[in-house]
Structure 1
Amino acid sequence: MGFQKYDPGTKIATVCMIAQLHSRASVCNTLGFSISCQSMDRWMQLYHATQRIFIKELLRCKPGLFLDKLQERLYDETNTLLSLTTLHRNLVENMEITLKKANTLNIKKSLVTKHDFIERMASVPAEYLVFTGEFFHLCSSFISSIADDLLQTFSRSPKGTQANRTIIDSNSTCFTLLPAIGFNGILAVTVTDDNVKGSNFGHFLKYSLLLQMNRYPDNNSVLVLDNAKVHIGEQVHWLCENAGVKIVFLPTYTPELNPIEFCFSQVKLDLCCSQALVRCADPKWVIERTMYQVVSARLCQKLFNNAGYLCPDTLDDLNLHEFHFSE
């Protein structure tokens, strides 16, 4: 059979009918042309390639689109109406695009500042670094542990019935975890039911953390902090200067450079799984005990390496596959 030229309208109509699951014979009878299987296959390949490009670009710009909105935009662009089931199947099976919990990025995050920090820290041994921070996310969750943060997101129940969970104490006492970690593990931990302010943080430095640190340059001699207000007061600088400890501030909105953030995630996951705080007599002790049990020297070393700091070459097997982190 020789080459036959078809007008664009015929090609579009053919593609639309095939996408709507019409048979080849039905397409040919409806349009009045004897269209070969090779032509139909070629047009469908071009259609799918164009459709993939459109969908990928659309989801790159608006990754949070619901399926019905994506269906509508696809129809406006290609004049093809796909069912939500078919659209979902194409996304997953053909384009390998899946739905997942979105990672929140702050628009004020500066990659220039981040890479400048990485360059400055490239020659600083990981053994020198100490990270500290406050886990305010545990407030109002610790006393009952039946608040949102420490509950499992999913539960099981018989088919056709709703899975429920009960809040024991909706006005629970607030607790804040304030630890510090070095390359070889935890240096200091405190748990308080007060909001951490400049005076509280200064007390933690003076009577807990700085006693475990050394004068710069030495192991545990560089205190790495984020830009929270409680970290930038004059008292913090005065205490560290008197102790011979150097202060380094992380770039804003870069939790990936702060290993202690992942430690918080491990502690939260352990408390969520064990539900150890349910009706416990001493929640402060439970929180502190969990911190020491979960945050091992091995975990700290892997987190320091994963964050890109200068770790010793003697360490082996530095992947994080054995650990699981809560969201």
Structure 2
Amino acid sequence: MARLRGRSQRGTRCRMSVPHGHWKTTTFIGGLRLSGMTAPMMLDGPMTGEWFAAYTRKVLVPTLSPGDVVILDNLPAHKGAVAREAVEAVGARLLFLPPYSPDFNPIENIFAKMKAWIRRVAPRTLDADFSHLRQFQVIL
């Protein structure tokens, strides 16, 4: 992730390097429990229905117990039948937040802090990003 702002002397152009290239998307997905983060995963690209189904089956479902509730926002990738079936097969429930309700989504606050921390560290590769995220997860 690149820093959002830079400084330079008045009248001179601010030059900064962009760690992963210009406008490259890195996606972080994870769950939030009362005990902290769970099932973290990082993607080199945007979230798609295929990626979310794979994440649900291989990363999220093994951490779920019967009676757990999985709350999702309304990203189109979250609405696939494969993910719903995988979550319900474990005995967990799947609920969606109402549209435009970031106040009900506490994981967004953690994601904002995580992004600020990564920007401050300024890693240059996706592997460095992930190792810094592991450190951030330990801090939580």
TM-score by length of 1: 0.38
Paired with 2:137 and 2:22, the residues of 1 have a C-alpha distance of: 27
Which residue of structure 1 lines up, in the alignment, with residue 133 of structure 2?
Answer: 288
Q: CA deviation at 1:154?
A: 5.2
1:205-244 aligned within 5 A:
205-216=56-67, 221-244=68-91
Deviations 1:12-55 (A, max 9, x none): xxxxxxxxxxxxxxxxxxxxxxxxxxxxxxxxxxxxxxxxxxxx
1:27-176 aligned within 5 A:
142=1, 145=2, 150-151=3-4, 153=5, 155=7, 157=9, 160-162=10-12, 164-168=14-18, 170-171=21-22, 173-176=24-27
Match of 1:267 among 109, 114, 119: 114
What is the DSSP-based 3-state SS (H/G/I as helix, E as strand, rest coil) of the residue aligned with 2:95?
strand
Q: CA deviation at 1:259?
A: 0.8
Alpha-carbon contact 1:214-1:245 (below 8 Å) kept: yes
2:101 aligned with 1:258: no
Letter in 2 for 1:164: C
More relative contact order in 1 or in 2 (CA 8 Å, sep 6+)?
2
Structure having the larger proportion of residues in strand = 2
Runs of 4+ aligned structure 1 residues displaced above 6 Å come to: none
Alpha-carbon contact 1:175-1:192 (below 8 Å) kept: yes
Letter in 2 for 1:239: A
| Inter-CA distance 228–212: structure 2 relative to 1 (3 Å threshold) | same
Paired with 1:244 and 1:214, the residues of 2 have a C-alpha distance of: 7
Q: CA deviation at 1:286?
A: 3.3
What is the DSSP-based 3-state SS (H/G/I as helix, E as strand, rest coil) of the residue aligned with 1:227?
coil
Alpha-carbon contact 1:179-1:186 (below 8 Å) kept: yes
Alpha-carbon contact 2:71-2:95 (below 8 Å) kept: yes
What is the DSSP-based 3-state SS (H/G/I as helix, E as strand, rest coil) of the residue aligned with 1:247?
strand
Letter in 1 for 2:14: N
TM-score by length of 2: 0.83
Which residue of structure 1 lines up, in the alignment, with residue 55 of structure 2?
Answer: 204
Which residue of structure 2 lines up, in the alignment, with residue 178 of structure 1?
Answer: 29
Alpha-carbon contact 1:189-1:288 (below 8 Å) kept: no
Letter in 1 for 2:78: H
Alpha-carbon contact 1:267-1:291 (below 8 Å) kept: yes
Q: CA RMSD in A?
A: 2.4
Deviations 1:76-110 (A, max 9, x none): xxxxxxxxxxxxxxxxxxxxxxxxxxxxxxxxxxx
Paired with 1:229 and 1:173, the residues of 2 have a C-alpha distance of: 20
Paired with 1:177 and 1:161, the residues of 2 have a C-alpha distance of: 37
Paired with 2:91 and 2:76, the residues of 1 have a C-alpha distance of: 22
What is the DSSP-based 3-state SS (H/G/I as helix, E as strand, rest coil) of the residue aligned with 1:282?
helix
Paired with 2:126 and 2:47, the residues of 1 have a C-alpha distance of: 23
Any gaps of 5 or more consecutive residues in structure 2? none
Alpha-carbon contact 2:74-2:99 (below 8 Å) kept: yes
Greater Rg over alpha carbons, structure: 1
What is the DSSP-based 3-state SS (H/G/I as helix, E as strand, rest coil) of the residue aligned with 2:40?
strand
Alpha-carbon contact 1:190-1:288 (below 8 Å) kept: no
Letter in 2 for 1:241: E
Matched-pair identity in %:
22
2:35 aligned with 1:190: no
